[in-house]
Structure 1
Amino acid sequence: MNSEASPDGHNWSTAAFSTDYVDKAFRWEYSDRGRTYDWEGFNRLPDYEPPSELEIEKFKGDALAALTDLLQKHLPYRQGFTDLAEPKTLYLWDAAARAGLTHRNYGEFVTVISTMDVEAAGQKRHKNYPDISKAVRAIPNKPSLENHLSPSFRSFDVTAPDSMTVDCYKAALNPSGNADAAVTPGNANPNCNGNSRLGEWLAEFRGFVAQREAGKPDPMPAMSILRLPNDHTTGMKKGFPTPQFMVADNDYAVGRLVEAISSSVYWKDAAIFMVEDDAQSGPDHVDSHRSVALAISAYNKPGALIHKFHNTVSMIRTIEMLLGIAPMNQLDASAVPMDIFQETPDLTPYKAVLPTIAANNLMTEKPKDKASAEWMKKSLQQNFAHADMADPKTLNGIIWFSCRGNGSAMPGSAQLPAYQAMRLGIADPDDTATPRAEKDDD
């Protein structure tokens, strides 16, 4: 990964570049000395779930209007201000527009307000899990995303499912029925009839397929950007799913997305790229910047092991080359594209598999022991309102404990020697003291 955390990670993942302001300012924030959320198009965004004491008077009347006003007040372009976190070379969607390509955004640099958001704001309380209520307003965080976004695809909100809730997962496991685990509009199960990120994207995608198969003009955008955030998890926060379930929720959304595209008329012309915006100091035995990225298409080389260095910008360069988009800056212009494709496609469709999770490990309820109680207490102290506002070391420890138990110590963060050299410098051989032999008094 080119990034350290979400503040610079969303820039690297969509613009192949961060900015000097972001690189400096987010470190102040991570040390609890900085401003509130100042990234992804926002300027000093407060926690509005529930609204802060400073804003609370505004929610006495029309909560939707007040919440919309609060959010727009913290969007620089809506106030005529410059967004210091914005790279001068802008973003992938701007590059697509310059190339004359259509594009659509699902939850990235977008703020979506749900019915439950409005109810919680009006009652000045926190939301409960899950929020599968209808989206009532979508606000683009960048002017170039106006009229290019899904109005119902939820942005970062850990109460909203990527694909499924715990109840829907349980229903899908029932051998007496044929329930769909995904929360979708029109799901026969009333508890699963609602809004999930997968469900809203599927509804649009199926509409694209139907229009193309009917011989109408193809409405499918040349480039779509989706945000599926629930593998952030909420640690062991009481009343929320376990980390294992939230990661499974995220995985199943990915699987169903690939299943839908690979089973459609678009498969022979499609490529799907998935990347984390940052590794968030994950314990990795090579380097804490290393993370998983997925490139999925009918043209992938089967079983190939590629010995080339690839990073976030390599993926962006690959996307640009496939779409015929000019590089945005010197970094993606010089990046090595991903060497994973072949000329002959394998059009076999993918079938998503419902994840297997232990029945007693779906929701975080009462603590099982003293150690669990301590980690649950630490989870309650974390800020999950915005991406990566929880303390990364603490959250990683919580997740490690939830998976491995109390008898396993989480490994520390590793760094490549090159990073250490950049941070500490390289010792000059002339400055290195050479041990001398002890003097022989005889």
Structure 2
Amino acid sequence: MKINSTFAFYGSLCLSLLDLLGSCRRAGSRVSDSGGLTSSYKTATDDSTLAGSKSPFLMPYNRVIDGAGQSVSFGDASLENHSLDAVLLPDKQTLVVEDRFGIAFFDVKTHQLLSRWDYNKGSDFRGSMSSFSGIKAIVHHDSTYIFWGAGGRGKPNSYVMQAVWNGSRARLIQTIPFEPLAPATIALPNEVVVKEENGELYLYTVLNGNNQLIKIRVADRQVVWTVPTGVAPFGLTIVDNKAYVTNWAGPVPDAADGLETAGVPWGSAYVDPKTGAIARGTVSIIDIQQGKAEREIPVGLHPNAIISSPDQRFLYVANGNSDYVSVLDVQTQQVTDSIFVGLYNRGNGYIGSTPNALAINPSGNTLYVANGMDNALCVVALGSKAATSGTGTTSIKGYIPTQAYPSGIVLNNDELYVTNLEAAGARIANPVDQGGQGRNPSRKEVKAYNSHKQLASVSFIPVPGQQELDAFTEKVKKMSMQFRLALTEQMPRPGIAPKPVPERIGEPSVFTHVLYIIKENRTYDQVLGDMKEGNGMPELCIFGDSITPNQHRLAKDYLLLDNYHVSGKSSAEGHHWASAAIVTDYTEKSVRAWFRSYPHVLYDALVYDKKGLIWNNALDHGKTVRIYGEACTCHFDKRGLNWQSLYQLQQAGKPFSYTNTTTISRVRPILAQGFPGCDDETVSDQMRADAFIKELNETAANPNADLPNLMVMSLPNDHTAGTNPAFPTPRAMVADNDLAVGRIVDAVTHSRFAESTVIFITEDDSQAGWDHISAYRTTGFVISPYSRLKKTIHTNYNQTCMVRTMEQILGLPPMNVIDATALPMFDCFTDKPDRSFAYRKQANLVNLAEMNPSPTGLKGPALRFATQSIKYKFDLIDRGHDDLLNRILWFSAKGKKRYPAELAGAVDDDDDDD
């Protein structure tokens, strides 16, 4: 456990962070000054790394976090921990925090961790995880009981957990199981309400997977009634004899109305045809005496948390994908007010603050809203339309800084207790058990970071007075880079000469085509750690220049980004960060558990932000778009087809039959059906390179044809399949990916579109790897005639900066508050083109058909890792145990050389979409 105290944060952000982030700064580096407006975007953090271990923390999406009060970190340092929600016990002395792997008890006076109950320790529920939110406590027959929802991997796989607290420790009393209702595979109880009725204890809970509200007698687990709700019910509160349920994905669609729907796991929901995002949100009203649904009330998008006023006259609903709180009058059952709580309420239409938790003061006139992406609580003075005691119109009093992504709020007298879902991010580098692989360290341990190692946190924050709240508000705005909005909204100037990255959106660029390549799961040190030109650690490099000669040559011939980061920790987050520059509340509340879906190919409508992804932003503004393998699934008959047979077809220049499908209607016309989708590593990346180059050459040969303005491509095989004998070795698969990159860049830079095209390359995430600077640091490349700088760029960039730069080039407005405040990658370009920039691909130095050996004849770690690679299906991207895959990759490259202890993780963790 670790406690971080609040830092004073007044005055200029730039001046303050020079001191506060001094420990993160890279020695000898400085903020480069491109002059004019470009330099006015800069802050003191732009030449800092993410290596800091003390607050304030720099996050990999243009945000600094430095929470008010005290933040207490806790959890197993070998796991990726997340705080979800909290409840104050009736004794008013103990706070219970629901986290992904259990529940933790804190003394509210001392802020000390008292005890923790963990699914994985001494429990029959090993592998289970807490659901999205929802924990309640009640005293019954002189015992204090705690109830919360959980999901697991066994049968049954859904429970409400009931524990008893004796003042010093918790003991599990029973679990109340729930069976999934087909086609759901998990019932998934979320929010719970526990009531004593006629001396008996009754449990009400929403079943998020079953689309139901259920009432159960706790003593004998007897079901009293079950009532259908809308799609993916999330929140629940009961007022008098009515239950109010928020439906994350809105009403169950009516097939007769002709409106567009798209898939969510186990059903469908109404969606926006332009973006693919959920188009409706509702609250179901259910008579709990009769067990009967009465009606649904429309509210905002992604309604999640719901609470009542102290006098139970009003209800408040947080709408995670609309940035406002809906106020419902209980008596009239009508929406009486909509309170916009986003930090960027400037009439510019930017959303992304993501309200997702609520609390209200006993007087009923002040509402606290957890804005996940603002890393802050919004404090709302309720007006006459929103509270019995309210006067005038509702107004925002200010914002209180928290740690990353506040997800639950408890108000106790004059103190706020806040669970922080992302805490300080993935920063833990503590030594953990090596799991028996290799020898014990005989030298100094190597410090390194892994994206699945993160502590949870809870903040204890005194309720501020208005003067302190005003200061906090300014602090939140500065840490959210709000000053960049004024620059983002500058009107284009007439007569401005084209530049690589225009200073203002709408001014001309020298580029008319952008190729955006998204790869899979590597870190900087794994691939480029051997480059002396950058801040790498050669000891951690396993795919160096002999395996990735093209990426090394591109970094030398153009530029090396050694301070570039992904914004999320897994592919389910990463592909959305990479294409939308933000993730939704659904994605954040699913991290690590992924109960409903693992949407790395973007097939679940709940993951889409209201404003959509970069391709519909481009289409909305008259640009042409082509998608190669992203946001789709590749289907083909695998009978008789494996990696080797498909590779032989590719080498012989022969095709094979497959189909790409997508759940987003607007993607279908722009999806390249000749380019195999990204969800299957059975397909060599050479096939993908062949498909793109064929289209490129056909377009170039037609003098009347032009490339699309935006091309988005998935190139996934650097993920590897571990040591599965049906696939090439990890180094061969990474070499396959590297050669595909080299061939594509070669083809583009030798085409007639060379000078009008810029190529951006990123990894989607960094989860299958390690890095000595940051768990988020990865490889990034910028290739153009204006990017042949032949130097290292130390500026702190991330995926949202890359998205923003592409928008700036194409004249697109930002999609949300995150890319609106991102730093364009000005430092990666010069105004003078290098006419000799054309790139020649580097031949692979590893046989791309170098296959993993058969388990027959193997022994020890080699046999174990081959067996596990098959068992966990690493070839199906992100379907296996990441910590285990990391060990396998290290062993494949380094043999029995010591695996850095800090990277180990728990080998038998249930990772991702297992």
- Give the TM-score of the pair, scaled to structure 2: 0.35
Cα 1:241–1:229 shift into 2, 3 Å:
same
2:807 is the counterpart of 1:335? no
SS, match of residue 143 in structure 1: coil
**CA–CA distance in structure 2, aligned partners of residues 371 and 244 of structure 1:** 18
Cα 1:252–1:358 shift into 2, 3 Å:
closer
Cα 1:379–1:286 shift into 2, 3 Å:
same
2:637 is the counterpart of 1:149? no
- Paired residue for 2:760, among 258, 269, 273? 273
SS, match of residue 320 in structure 1: helix
1:23-422 superposed matches below 5 A: 23-29=588-594, 34-43=595-604, 83-114=605-636, 116-117=637-638, 119=639, 127=642, 129-131=644-646, 132=649, 133-155=655-677, 156-163=679-686, 196-212=687-703, 216=704, 218-280=705-767, 282-338=769-825, 339-348=827-836, 349-357=838-846, 362-367=850-855, 368-384=858-874, 386-413=876-903
Equivalent residues of 2:732, 2:847 under 8 A apart: no
Offset, 1:198:
0.7
Offset, 1:260:
0.3
Cα 1:364–1:281 shift into 2, 3 Å:
closer
**CA–CA distance in structure 2, aligned partners of residues 110 and 347 of structure 1:** 37
Q: How many residues align?
A: 327
Equivalent residues of 1:112, 1:153 under 8 A apart: no
Equivalent residues of 1:283, 1:410 under 8 A apart: no
**CA–CA distance in structure 1, aligned partners of residues 753 and 759 of structure 2:** 11
Moved more, 241-250 or 146-155: 146-155
2:534 is the counterpart of 1:12? no
What is the percent sequence identity of the aligned residues? 32
- The structure with the largest alpha-carbon Rg is 2
Question: Which amino acid letter does the alignment assign opposite residue 894 of structure 2?
Answer: R
SS, match of residue 740 in structure 2: helix
Moved more, 300-309 or 392-401: 300-309
Offset, 1:389:
1.7
**CA–CA distance in structure 2, aligned partners of residues 285 and 312 of structure 1:** 20
Offset, 1:127:
4.6
Offset, 1:143:
1.4
Equivalent residues of 2:807, 2:814 under 8 A apart: yes
Offset, 1:301:
4.8
Which runs of 5 or more structure 1 residues have no equivalent in the other structure? 44-82, 121-125, 164-195, 415-442
Question: Which amino acid letter does the alignment assign opposite residue 831 of structure 2?
Answer: E
Equivalent residues of 1:138, 1:151 under 8 A apart: yes
Offset, 1:137:
2.3
Offset, 1:84:
1.0
Question: Which amino acid letter does the alignment assign opposite residue 157 of structure 1?
Answer: D
* Larger RCO, structures 1/2 (Cα 8 Å, 6+ apart): 1
Equivalent residues of 1:104, 1:221 under 8 A apart: yes
Cα 1:95–1:406 shift into 2, 3 Å:
same
Structure (1 or 2) with the greater strand fraction: 2
Equivalent residues of 1:158, 1:384 under 8 A apart: no
Question: Which amino acid letter does the alignment assign opposite residue 671 of structure 2?
Answer: L
Question: Which amino acid letter does the alignment assign opposite residue 355 of structure 1?
Answer: N
Equivalent residues of 1:89, 1:329 under 8 A apart: yes
**CA–CA distance in structure 1, aligned partners of residues 782 and 645 of structure 2:** 30
Cα 1:381–1:15 shift into 2, 3 Å:
same
CA deviations over 1:235-262 (Å, ceiling 9, x no partner): 0001210000000000000000000011
Cα 1:411–1:96 shift into 2, 3 Å:
farther
SS, match of residue 206 in structure 1: helix
**CA–CA distance in structure 2, aligned partners of residues 128 and 307 of structure 1:** 39
**CA–CA distance in structure 2, aligned partners of residues 273 and 14 of structure 1:** 12
Question: Which amino acid letter does the alignment assign opposite residue 873 of structure 2?
Answer: N
Moved more, 304-313 or 401-410: 304-313
| 2:523 alignment counterpart | none
**CA–CA distance in structure 2, aligned partners of residues 36 and 378 of structure 1:** 23
SS, match of residue 412 in structure 1: helix
**CA–CA distance in structure 2, aligned partners of residues 87 and 36 of structure 1:** 16
Moved more, 346-355 or 395-404: 346-355
Cα 1:366–1:2 shift into 2, 3 Å:
same
Offset, 1:343:
1.3
Question: Which amino acid letter does the alignment assign opposite residue 404 of structure 1?
Answer: K
**CA–CA distance in structure 1, aligned partners of residues 719 and 706 of structure 2:** 32
Offset, 1:36:
4.5
Question: Which amino acid letter does the alignment assign opposite residue 598 of structure 2?
Answer: Y
Cα 1:159–1:410 shift into 2, 3 Å:
farther
**CA–CA distance in structure 2, aligned partners of residues 276 and 411 of structure 1:** 25
SS, match of residue 274 in structure 1: strand
Structure (1 or 2) with the greater helix fraction: 1
Equivalent residues of 1:130, 1:161 under 8 A apart: no
Offset, 1:412:
2.5
**CA–CA distance in structure 2, aligned partners of residues 96 and 358 of structure 1:** 39
| 1:179 alignment counterpart | none
Question: Which amino acid letter does the alignment assign opposite residue 580 of structure 2?
Answer: A
Equivalent residues of 2:567, 2:577 under 8 A apart: yes
SS, match of residue 135 in structure 1: coil
**CA–CA distance in structure 1, aligned partners of residues 777 and 643 of structure 2:** 34
